[in-house]
């Protein structure tokens, strides 16, 4: 794919690629964002399960929260728009730690960071690139794989993103959730989230939420709620049909050649050699 077609829908901000749906003016003004003490930020690298976790949090009874659209989606008016919400705000973003507005860090707002196996993330992002008109169309998986390895995709390198957040994994206002763990033991992960957000939920409510937020149920709902601007969790599209593809763990095996797996694993080992999270990812993936 030519860099020309990539440039028509993407732009660089501080060395990282963003979709044109995040205006440079907004990105430059994020440090003037006025965070509230009770704000919750849902953070992840793209295609790591943000929508799913957002729906889960929205389904918690007595939560009294409002899910907003992504903080970096739109133009400068976004900052005014976010002021309009009176309830506790749950604000999604794909920003790396360094680009997060300073006010969020100062006020120690609660942050949930979601991590998914990077091989599954890469495959999911490849499909997203192909299906989403706000992203460049990339012909083949192998071409996309090369871009992903180099971090020449929206929101930059998966490795840099995860490592920027891992540095803060012991901050008391940050909770790290693994997508795969959430899939494997939903009640336990949900309990982690509700405890972190200081919301009381009993076991029967947890089971109810588990049913309501199963992947197939949410995929069906996305068709009904499509283009509802209040449900634009992703900074890359308002079309919810693009968001839910398979939601399975381990789909990467259908895409990676043995050589690609070797190349990826070598890079993973090199980049993540000091990472605690990497060890956990290796156990669950």
**Residues that are catalytic:** 94
Ramachandran region, residue 186 (left: φ > 0; alpha: ψ -120 to 50; beta: rest):
alpha
Rounded distance between C-alpha atoms, residue 43 and residue 85, angstroms: 20
pLDDT at residue 217, rounded to an integer:
67
> What's the pLDDT band for 2 if we cut at 50, 70, 90?
very low
> What's the pLDDT band for 51 if we cut at 50, 70, 90?
confident
Cα torsion angle, 198, 199, 202, 206, sign? negative
88-93/40-44 β-pairing: parallel
32, 44, 165, 237 from 240: Cα distances, Å: 29, 18, 27, 8
Is residue 216 over pLDDT 80? no
- Each residue's pLDDT tens digit, 67-114: 999 999 999 999 999 999 999 999 999 999 999 999 999 999 999 999
Is residue 167 over pLDDT 70? yes
Mean pLDDT, rounded, for 219-227:
56
- Of 18, 58, 25, 52, whose CA–CA distance to 40 is shortest? 58
pLDDT at residue 94, rounded to an integer:
97
Share of the chain above pLDDT 70, in %: 85
Mean pLDDT, rounded, for 182-188:
89
Is residue 174 over pLDDT 90? yes
- Each residue's pLDDT tens digit, 259-284: 999 999 999 999 999 999 999 888 87
- Of 109, 99, 105, 102, whose CA–CA distance to 72 is shortest? 99
Is residue 159 over pLDDT 60? yes
Q: Which residue has the higher pLDDT, 49 or 221?
A: 49
DSSP 31: G
CB count within 10 Å of CB 232 equals 22
- Each residue's pLDDT tens digit, 106-126: 999 999 999 999 999 999 999
Mean pLDDT, rounded, for 192-218:
85
**Full DSSP string of 216-253:** HHHHHHHHHTTT-GGG---SS-S-GGGT-S---SSGGG
Mean pLDDT of the chain: 89
Catalogue all structural domains in the chain, each as residue range(s) with its CATH number. Answer: 3-284 (3.40.50.300)
Rounded distance between C-alpha atoms, residue 215 and residue 222, angstroms: 10
Rounded distance between C-alpha atoms, residue 225 and residue 174, angstroms: 30
At 44, give phi and psi (nearest 5°).
-165, 165
pLDDT at residue 234, rounded to an integer:
66
pLDDT at residue 1, rounded to an integer:
46
pLDDT at residue 248, rounded to an integer:
74
Rounded distance between C-alpha atoms, residue 21 and residue 52, angstroms: 22
> What's the pLDDT band for 232 if we cut at 50, 70, 90?
low
């Amino acid at each position: 794919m030519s860099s020309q077609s990539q440039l028509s829908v993407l732009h660089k901000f501080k060395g990282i690629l963003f979709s044109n749906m995040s205006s440079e003016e907004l990105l430059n003004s994020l440090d003037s964002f006025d965070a509230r003490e009770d704000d919750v930020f849902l953070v992840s690298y793209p295609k790591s399960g943000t929508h799913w976790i957002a729906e889960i949090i929205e389904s918690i009874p007595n939560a009294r929260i409002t899910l907003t659209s992504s903080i970096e989606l739109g133009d400068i008016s976004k900052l005014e728009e976010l002021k309009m919400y009176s309830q506790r705000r749950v604000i999604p973003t794909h920003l790396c730690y360094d680009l997060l507005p300073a006010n969020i860090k100062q006020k120690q707002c609660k942050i949930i960071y979601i991590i998914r196996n990077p091989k599954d993330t890469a495959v999911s992002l490849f499909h997203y690139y192909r299906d989403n008109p706000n992203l460049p169309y990339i012909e083949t998986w192998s071409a996309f794989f090369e871009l992903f390895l180099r971090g020449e995709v929206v929101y930059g390198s998966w490795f840099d993103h995860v490592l920027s957040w891992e540095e803060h994994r012991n901050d008391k206002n940050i909770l790290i959730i693994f997508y795969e763990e959430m899939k494997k033991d939903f009640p336990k992960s949900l309990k982690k989230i509700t405890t972190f957000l200081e919301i009381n939920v009993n076991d029967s409510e947890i089971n109810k939420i588990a049913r309501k937020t199963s992947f197939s149920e949410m995929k069906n709902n996305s068709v009904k709620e499509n283009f509802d601007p209040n449900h634009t969790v992703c900074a890359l599209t308002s079309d919810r049909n693009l968001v839910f593809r398979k939601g399975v763990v381990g789909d990467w095996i259908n895409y990676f050649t043995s050589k690609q797996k070797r190349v990826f694993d070598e890079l993973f080992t090199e980049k993540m050699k000091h990472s605690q999270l990497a060890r956990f990812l290796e156990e669950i993936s």
